[in-house]
Protein backbone atom coordinates (compact mmCIF):
# COMPACT_ATOMS: atom_id res chain seq x y z
CA UNK A 1 0.00 0.00 0.00
CA UNK A 2 2.93 2.32 -0.45
CA UNK A 3 3.22 4.93 2.26
CA UNK A 4 0.23 3.84 4.34
CA UNK A 5 0.39 1.15 7.02
CA UNK A 6 -2.61 -1.20 7.24
CA UNK A 7 -3.50 -3.02 10.48
CA UNK A 8 -6.41 -5.47 10.56
CA UNK A 9 -8.21 -6.55 13.73
CA UNK A 10 -11.69 -7.65 14.80
CA UNK A 11 -14.28 -6.26 17.17
CA UNK A 12 -15.87 -8.33 19.94
CA UNK A 13 -18.80 -9.34 17.72
CA UNK A 14 -16.50 -10.49 14.90
CA UNK A 15 -16.77 -7.47 12.61
CA UNK A 16 -13.58 -6.48 10.83
CA UNK A 17 -11.80 -3.21 11.62
CA UNK A 18 -8.82 -1.81 9.71
CA UNK A 19 -6.51 1.02 10.81
CA UNK A 20 -4.84 3.06 8.06
CA UNK A 21 -1.80 5.08 9.21
CA UNK A 22 0.99 6.97 7.50
CA UNK A 23 3.38 5.87 10.25
CA UNK A 24 3.44 3.25 12.99
CA UNK A 25 1.19 4.22 15.90
CA UNK A 26 0.66 2.58 19.29
CA UNK A 27 -2.60 0.98 20.32
CA UNK A 28 -3.25 -1.05 17.19
CA UNK A 29 -3.44 -4.16 19.38
CA UNK A 30 -6.19 -2.63 21.56
CA UNK A 31 -9.00 -5.09 22.29
CA UNK A 32 -12.71 -4.39 22.06
CA UNK A 33 -13.91 -4.91 25.66
CA UNK A 34 -17.64 -4.63 24.93
CA UNK A 35 -19.97 -7.64 25.06
CA UNK A 36 -19.81 -9.71 21.90
CA UNK A 37 -23.48 -9.45 20.93
CA UNK A 38 -24.98 -11.30 18.01
CA UNK A 39 -25.06 -10.85 14.25
CA UNK A 40 -27.34 -8.14 12.84
CA UNK A 41 -30.77 -9.11 11.53
CA UNK A 42 -30.91 -10.01 7.86
CA UNK A 43 -32.00 -7.58 5.13
CA UNK A 44 -34.08 -8.65 2.16
CA UNK A 45 -33.76 -7.87 -1.54
CA UNK A 46 -36.99 -7.41 -3.50
CA UNK A 47 -37.24 -6.83 -7.23
CA UNK A 48 -39.52 -4.19 -8.76
CA UNK A 49 -40.39 -5.59 -12.21
CA UNK A 50 -41.98 -2.35 -13.44
CA UNK A 51 -38.83 -0.30 -12.91
CA UNK A 52 -36.47 -3.29 -13.23
CA UNK A 53 -34.72 -2.25 -10.01
CA UNK A 54 -33.77 -3.93 -6.74
CA UNK A 55 -35.08 -2.52 -3.45
CA UNK A 56 -33.47 -3.47 -0.13
CA UNK A 57 -35.74 -3.95 2.89
CA UNK A 58 -33.56 -3.34 5.97
CA UNK A 59 -36.07 -2.95 8.80
CA UNK A 60 -33.42 -3.46 11.50
CA UNK A 61 -31.86 -0.11 10.56
CA UNK A 62 -34.84 1.64 12.16
CA UNK A 63 -33.09 1.08 15.49
CA UNK A 64 -29.65 2.38 14.54
CA UNK A 65 -27.90 5.03 16.64
CA UNK A 66 -29.44 8.46 16.02
CA UNK A 67 -27.49 11.72 16.57
CA UNK A 68 -25.83 10.85 19.90
CA UNK A 69 -23.95 13.50 21.85
CA UNK A 70 -20.17 13.63 21.73
CA UNK A 71 -19.96 11.69 25.01
CA UNK A 72 -21.82 8.78 23.40
CA UNK A 73 -20.38 8.92 19.87
CA UNK A 74 -19.53 5.39 18.68
CA UNK A 75 -16.90 6.63 16.19
CA UNK A 76 -14.70 8.54 18.62
CA UNK A 77 -11.63 6.71 19.95
CA UNK A 78 -12.16 4.61 23.07
CA UNK A 79 -11.38 6.19 26.44
CA UNK A 80 -11.13 4.69 29.95
CA UNK A 81 -14.61 3.63 30.98
CA UNK A 82 -16.06 4.47 27.55
CA UNK A 83 -15.37 1.80 24.92
CA UNK A 84 -16.53 2.64 21.40
CA UNK A 85 -16.46 1.05 17.95
CA UNK A 86 -12.76 2.02 17.78
CA UNK A 87 -10.78 0.18 20.52
CA UNK A 88 -7.64 2.35 20.14
CA UNK A 89 -7.20 5.60 22.06
CA UNK A 90 -6.35 7.43 18.82
CA UNK A 91 -6.37 6.80 15.09
CA UNK A 92 -5.78 8.47 11.73
CA UNK A 93 -8.29 6.73 9.43
CA UNK A 94 -10.34 3.64 10.31
CA UNK A 95 -12.61 1.38 8.26
CA UNK A 96 -14.98 -1.04 9.99
CA UNK A 97 -17.90 -3.21 9.08
CA UNK A 98 -21.17 -1.39 9.69
CA UNK A 99 -23.03 -2.42 12.83
CA UNK A 100 -26.34 -1.80 11.03
CA UNK A 101 -25.59 -3.02 7.49
CA UNK A 102 -27.93 -2.76 4.54
CA UNK A 103 -26.12 -5.64 2.79
CA UNK A 104 -24.57 -8.67 4.48
CA UNK A 105 -22.44 -11.54 3.15
CA UNK A 106 -24.47 -14.70 2.99
CA UNK A 107 -27.81 -12.88 3.25
CA UNK A 108 -28.41 -10.23 0.62
CA UNK A 109 -24.81 -10.52 -0.46
CA UNK A 110 -22.46 -7.54 -0.51
CA UNK A 111 -21.14 -5.68 2.49
CA UNK A 112 -21.37 -2.27 4.20
CA UNK A 113 -18.46 -0.44 5.83
CA UNK A 114 -17.94 2.83 7.69
CA UNK A 115 -14.89 5.04 7.02
CA UNK A 116 -13.88 7.30 9.92
CA UNK A 117 -11.99 10.25 8.43
CA UNK A 118 -10.64 11.68 11.69
CA UNK A 119 -10.64 11.01 15.46
CA UNK A 120 -11.76 14.62 15.98
CA UNK A 121 -15.52 14.59 16.59
CA UNK A 122 -15.87 18.23 15.52
CA UNK A 123 -13.82 18.02 12.32
CA UNK A 124 -15.11 17.75 8.76
CA UNK A 125 -13.52 16.41 5.60
CA UNK A 126 -12.73 19.97 4.55
CA UNK A 127 -10.66 20.37 7.75
CA UNK A 128 -8.34 17.46 6.98
CA UNK A 129 -4.73 18.16 6.02
CA UNK A 130 -3.82 16.94 2.52
CA UNK A 131 -1.74 14.08 3.97
CA UNK A 132 -4.76 12.72 5.79
CA UNK A 133 -6.92 13.01 2.69
CA UNK A 134 -4.28 10.89 0.97
CA UNK A 135 -4.69 8.28 3.71
CA UNK A 136 -8.45 8.29 3.09
CA UNK A 137 -7.82 7.79 -0.64
CA UNK A 138 -5.56 4.83 0.14
CA UNK A 139 -8.31 3.39 2.33
CA UNK A 140 -10.89 3.85 -0.47
CA UNK A 141 -8.55 2.14 -2.95
CA UNK A 142 -7.80 -0.72 -0.57
CA UNK A 143 -11.47 -1.36 0.17
CA UNK A 144 -12.47 -1.07 -3.49
CA UNK A 145 -9.96 -3.78 -4.39
CA UNK A 146 -10.85 -6.11 -1.51
CA UNK A 147 -14.60 -5.72 -1.73
CA UNK A 148 -14.56 -6.17 -5.51
CA UNK A 149 -13.01 -9.59 -4.92
CA UNK A 150 -15.88 -10.80 -2.71
CA UNK A 151 -18.29 -13.31 -4.29
CA UNK A 152 -21.47 -11.67 -5.55
CA UNK A 153 -20.28 -8.04 -5.32
CA UNK A 154 -21.14 -6.13 -8.50
CA UNK A 155 -20.13 -2.53 -7.68
CA UNK A 156 -18.26 -0.72 -4.88
CA UNK A 157 -19.65 2.68 -3.93
CA UNK A 158 -17.64 5.03 -1.66
CA UNK A 159 -19.61 8.04 -0.44
CA UNK A 160 -20.12 10.62 2.29
CA UNK A 161 -23.37 12.10 3.58
CA UNK A 162 -22.60 15.33 5.43
CA UNK A 163 -25.07 17.35 7.50
CA UNK A 164 -28.28 16.67 9.38
CA UNK A 165 -30.21 18.25 6.49
CA UNK A 166 -28.98 15.35 4.34
CA UNK A 167 -30.10 12.84 6.95
CA UNK A 168 -26.91 11.76 8.74
CA UNK A 169 -27.43 9.88 11.99
CA UNK A 170 -23.88 10.39 13.34
CA UNK A 171 -22.20 13.80 13.46
CA UNK A 172 -18.66 12.39 13.61
CA UNK A 173 -16.82 12.94 10.29
CA UNK A 174 -17.28 9.69 8.40
CA UNK A 175 -18.31 8.16 5.11
CA UNK A 176 -19.53 4.79 4.00
CA UNK A 177 -18.79 2.09 1.46
CA UNK A 178 -21.49 -0.09 -0.05
CA UNK A 179 -20.48 -3.25 -1.88
CA UNK A 180 -23.66 -3.75 -3.89
CA UNK A 181 -24.82 -7.26 -4.88
CA UNK A 182 -26.23 -5.68 -8.05
CA UNK A 183 -25.34 -2.83 -10.41
CA UNK A 184 -27.34 0.21 -9.19
CA UNK A 185 -29.81 1.95 -11.53
CA UNK A 186 -27.76 5.15 -11.98
CA UNK A 187 -24.71 3.22 -13.11
CA UNK A 188 -26.73 1.07 -15.51
CA UNK A 189 -28.36 4.17 -16.99
CA UNK A 190 -25.08 6.03 -17.48
CA UNK A 191 -23.26 3.07 -19.02
CA UNK A 192 -26.17 2.40 -21.37
CA UNK A 193 -25.95 6.00 -22.62
CA UNK A 194 -22.17 5.72 -23.05
CA UNK A 195 -22.57 2.42 -24.92
CA UNK A 196 -25.20 3.87 -27.30
CA UNK A 197 -23.00 6.92 -27.95
CA UNK A 198 -20.01 4.70 -28.73
CA UNK A 199 -22.09 2.58 -31.11
CA UNK A 200 -23.32 5.72 -32.94
CA UNK A 201 -20.12 7.74 -33.07
CA UNK A 202 -17.22 5.61 -31.89
CA UNK A 203 -16.50 8.24 -29.23
CA UNK A 204 -16.25 8.23 -25.44
CA UNK A 205 -19.15 10.24 -24.04
CA UNK A 206 -17.52 10.76 -20.62
CA UNK A 207 -14.31 12.11 -22.16
CA UNK A 208 -16.23 14.30 -24.60
CA UNK A 209 -18.32 15.86 -21.81
CA UNK A 210 -15.16 16.62 -19.82
CA UNK A 211 -13.44 18.12 -22.88
CA UNK A 212 -16.48 20.28 -23.64
CA UNK A 213 -16.65 21.65 -20.10
CA UNK A 214 -12.91 22.41 -20.07
CA UNK A 215 -13.14 24.17 -23.43
CA UNK A 216 -16.21 26.22 -22.51
CA UNK A 217 -14.86 27.14 -19.08
CA UNK A 218 -18.07 28.86 -17.98
CA UNK A 219 -18.97 26.11 -15.53
CA UNK A 220 -15.44 25.15 -14.41
CA UNK A 221 -15.05 25.86 -10.70
CA UNK A 222 -11.40 24.88 -10.22
CA UNK A 223 -8.78 22.70 -11.90
CA UNK A 224 -5.18 21.55 -11.83
CA UNK A 225 -2.99 19.64 -14.27
CA UNK A 226 -4.66 16.29 -13.57
CA UNK A 227 -8.26 17.02 -12.50
CA UNK A 228 -11.11 19.40 -13.36
CA UNK A 229 -14.06 20.32 -11.12
CA UNK A 230 -17.10 21.70 -12.93
CA UNK A 231 -20.83 22.25 -12.58
CA UNK A 232 -22.44 20.03 -15.24
CA UNK A 233 -24.46 21.64 -18.04
CA UNK A 234 -27.65 19.88 -16.89
CA UNK A 235 -27.07 19.95 -13.12
CA UNK A 236 -29.96 18.49 -11.15
CA UNK A 237 -29.02 20.01 -7.80
CA UNK A 238 -28.67 23.70 -6.88
CA UNK A 239 -24.95 23.30 -6.23
CA UNK A 240 -23.47 20.26 -7.94
CA UNK A 241 -19.83 19.76 -8.88
CA UNK A 242 -18.28 16.84 -10.74
CA UNK A 243 -14.57 16.09 -10.33
CA UNK A 244 -12.96 14.20 -13.23
CA UNK A 245 -9.38 13.02 -13.68
CA UNK A 246 -8.00 14.00 -17.06
CA UNK A 247 -6.96 10.39 -17.65
CA UNK A 248 -9.69 7.82 -18.03
CA UNK A 249 -9.47 5.13 -15.33
CA UNK A 250 -12.13 2.66 -14.12
CA UNK A 251 -11.77 3.07 -10.37
CA UNK A 252 -9.85 4.62 -7.48
CA UNK A 253 -7.38 1.71 -7.46
CA UNK A 254 -6.19 2.72 -10.94
CA UNK A 255 -5.21 6.27 -9.94
CA UNK A 256 -1.48 6.96 -9.92
CA UNK A 257 0.26 8.62 -6.98
CA UNK A 258 0.35 12.01 -8.68
CA UNK A 259 -3.36 11.78 -9.49
CA UNK A 260 -4.20 10.94 -5.89
CA UNK A 261 -2.16 13.91 -4.66
CA UNK A 262 -3.82 16.22 -7.18
CA UNK A 263 -7.31 15.03 -6.25
CA UNK A 264 -6.68 15.68 -2.55
CA UNK A 265 -5.69 19.29 -3.25
CA UNK A 266 -8.58 20.00 -5.63
CA UNK A 267 -11.22 18.31 -3.50
CA UNK A 268 -10.23 20.28 -0.39
CA UNK A 269 -10.42 23.44 -2.51
CA UNK A 270 -13.96 22.64 -3.70
CA UNK A 271 -15.19 21.63 -0.24
CA UNK A 272 -13.85 24.90 1.15
CA UNK A 273 -15.81 26.80 -1.50
CA UNK A 274 -18.98 24.94 -0.54
CA UNK A 275 -18.61 25.94 3.11
CA UNK A 276 -17.74 29.55 2.32
CA UNK A 277 -20.62 29.97 -0.12
CA UNK A 278 -23.21 30.75 2.57
CA UNK A 279 -20.83 31.20 5.51
CA UNK A 280 -21.96 27.96 7.15
CA UNK A 281 -21.26 24.23 6.78
CA UNK A 282 -22.81 23.02 3.55
CA UNK A 283 -24.82 19.79 3.69
CA UNK A 284 -23.75 17.54 0.84
CA UNK A 285 -23.47 14.10 -0.67
CA UNK A 286 -20.11 13.13 -2.15
CA UNK A 287 -20.40 10.06 -4.38
CA UNK A 288 -17.65 8.17 -6.19
CA UNK A 289 -18.79 6.65 -9.48
CA UNK A 290 -16.56 3.66 -10.15
CA UNK A 291 -16.72 0.91 -12.75
CA UNK A 292 -18.81 -2.13 -11.89
CA UNK A 293 -16.82 -5.21 -10.98
CA UNK A 294 -17.83 -7.23 -14.07
CA UNK A 295 -20.38 -5.22 -16.05
CA UNK A 296 -19.00 -3.11 -18.93
CA UNK A 297 -15.92 -1.88 -17.06
CA UNK A 298 -14.46 -0.70 -20.36
CA UNK A 299 -17.19 1.95 -20.65
CA UNK A 300 -16.77 3.48 -17.16
CA UNK A 301 -14.86 6.65 -16.27
CA UNK A 302 -14.08 7.25 -12.60
CA UNK A 303 -15.40 10.54 -11.24
CA UNK A 304 -16.78 12.04 -8.05
CA UNK A 305 -20.11 13.88 -7.85
CA UNK A 306 -20.53 16.39 -5.04
CA UNK A 307 -23.92 18.02 -4.56
CA UNK A 308 -25.93 19.91 -1.97
CA UNK A 309 -29.64 20.29 -1.31
CA UNK A 310 -29.06 23.87 -0.09
CA UNK A 311 -30.22 26.34 -2.74
CA UNK A 312 -29.87 29.54 -0.68
CA UNK A 313 -28.57 30.51 2.74
CA UNK A 314 -31.96 29.83 4.33
CA UNK A 315 -33.57 27.43 1.84
CA UNK A 316 -33.27 23.75 0.96
CA UNK A 317 -34.14 21.93 -2.24
CA UNK A 318 -36.77 19.29 -1.47
CA UNK A 319 -37.51 16.43 -3.82
CA UNK A 320 -41.24 16.92 -4.21
CA UNK A 321 -43.78 15.61 -6.73
CA UNK A 322 -41.89 15.90 -10.00
CA UNK A 323 -38.59 14.56 -8.66
CA UNK A 324 -39.85 11.94 -6.19
CA UNK A 325 -42.79 10.60 -8.18
CA UNK A 326 -41.58 11.00 -11.76
CA UNK A 327 -37.80 11.32 -11.48
CA UNK A 328 -37.92 14.59 -13.47
CA UNK A 329 -35.64 17.12 -11.79
CA UNK A 330 -36.27 20.86 -11.64
CA UNK A 331 -33.28 22.98 -10.63
CA UNK A 332 -33.77 26.42 -9.04
CA UNK A 333 -30.22 27.62 -9.77
CA UNK A 334 -28.70 28.05 -13.23
CA UNK A 335 -25.55 25.91 -13.48
CA UNK A 336 -23.56 28.87 -14.81
CA UNK A 337 -24.60 30.98 -11.81
CA UNK A 338 -23.74 28.16 -9.41
CA UNK A 339 -20.27 27.91 -10.98
CA UNK A 340 -19.79 31.68 -10.77
CA UNK A 341 -20.72 31.75 -7.09
CA UNK A 342 -18.42 28.84 -6.30
CA UNK A 343 -15.52 30.45 -8.18
CA UNK A 344 -16.11 33.63 -6.17
CA UNK A 345 -16.01 31.61 -2.95
CA UNK A 346 -12.32 30.81 -3.45
CA UNK A 347 -9.72 31.85 -0.90
Return the HEC string of 126-156. HHCCHHHHHHHHHHHHHHHHHHHCCCCCCEE
Residues 149/151/157/161 CA torsion (nearest 10 deg): -120
Residues 249 and 292 in one domain: yes
Give this prediction's pTM. Answer: 0.97
| pLDDT > 70 in the chain, percent | 99
CATH number at residue 142: 3.30.428.10
Last residue of a domain, one of 148, 167, 182: 182
DSSP letter (8 states) at residue 43: P
Query: Span 236-264, mean pLDDT?
Result: 98
Residues 266 and 134 in one domain: no
CB 39 within 8 A of CB 13: yes
Residues 101 and 71 in one domain: yes
Three-state DSSP at 299 gives helix
Tell me the C-alpha distance between 184 and 53, whole Å.
8
Higher per-residue pLDDT: 41 or 229? 229
What's the gap between Cα 291 and its chain centre? 14
Buried b (16+ CB within 10 A) or exposed e, 183-203: bbeebbebbeebeebeeeeee
Residues 194 and 310 in one domain: yes
Catalytic residue among 174, 242, 289, 303: 174
Residues 157 and 79 in one domain: yes
Query: What does residue 63 show for φ and ψ, rounded to 5 degrees?
Result: -100, 15
Using only C-alpha atoms, the chain has a radius of gyration, in whole angstroms, of: 20
Residues 190 and 218 in one domain: yes
The interaxial angle of helices 130-148 and 257-277, nearest 10 deg, is 120
Residues 332 and 192 in one domain: yes
- Note the pLDDT tens digit of each residue in 119-148: 999 999 999 999 999 999 999 999 999 999
Residues 269 and 296 in one domain: yes
Residues 22 and 88 in one domain: yes
By C-alpha distance, which of 336, 333, 306 is closest to 317? 333
Last residue of a domain, one of 182, 206, 240: 182
Residues 131 and 256 in one domain: no
- Note the pLDDT tens digit of each residue in 89-128: 999 999 999 999 999 987 788 999 999 999 999 999 999 9
Residues 178 and 193 in one domain: no
Tell me the C-alpha distance between 10 and 54, whole Å.
31
Task: Respond yes or no: is residue 295 known to be catalytic.
Answer: no
Tell me the C-alpha distance between 285 and 161, whole Å.
5
Cβ contacts of 47 within 8 Å, gap of 6 or more: 53, 54, 55
Last residue of a domain, one of 142, 161, 182: 182
Binding residues: 73, 76, 121, 172
By C-alpha distance, which of 124, 66, 74, 99 is closest to 282? 124
In the prediction, which pLDDT does 199 show? 98
Tell me the C-alpha distance between 269 and 25, whole Å.
29
In the prediction, which pLDDT does 70 show? 95
Number of Cβ atoms within 10 Å of the Cβ of 132: 19
- Burial (CB count <10 Å: 0-12, 13-18, 19+), residue 292: buried
Tell me the C-alpha distance between 56 and 43, whole Å.
7
Query: Span 298-303, mean pLDDT?
Result: 98
Query: Span 76-85, mean pLDDT?
Result: 97
Range of the domain at 145: 5-34+43-182
Cβ contacts of 141 within 8 Å, gap of 6 or more: 252, 253, 255
Residues 293 and 213 in one domain: yes
Query: Span 157-161, mean pLDDT?
Result: 98
In the prediction, which pLDDT does 66 show? 94
Q: Is the confidence at residue 26, as pLDDT, over 90? A: no
Higher per-residue pLDDT: 38 or 83? 83
Q: How many structural domains does the chain have? A: 2
Binding residues for Zn(2+): 73, 76, 121, 172
Amino acid sequence: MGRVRRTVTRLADGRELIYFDRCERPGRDAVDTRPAGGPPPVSELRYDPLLEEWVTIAAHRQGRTFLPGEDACPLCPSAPGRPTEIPAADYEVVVLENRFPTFQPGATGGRCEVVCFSPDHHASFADLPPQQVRTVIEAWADRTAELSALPGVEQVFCFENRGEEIGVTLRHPHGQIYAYPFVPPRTRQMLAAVRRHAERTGGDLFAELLAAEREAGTRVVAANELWTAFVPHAARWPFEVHLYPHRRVPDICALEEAERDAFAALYLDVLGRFDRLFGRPMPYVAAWHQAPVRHERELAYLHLRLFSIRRAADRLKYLAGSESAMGAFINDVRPEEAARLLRAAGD
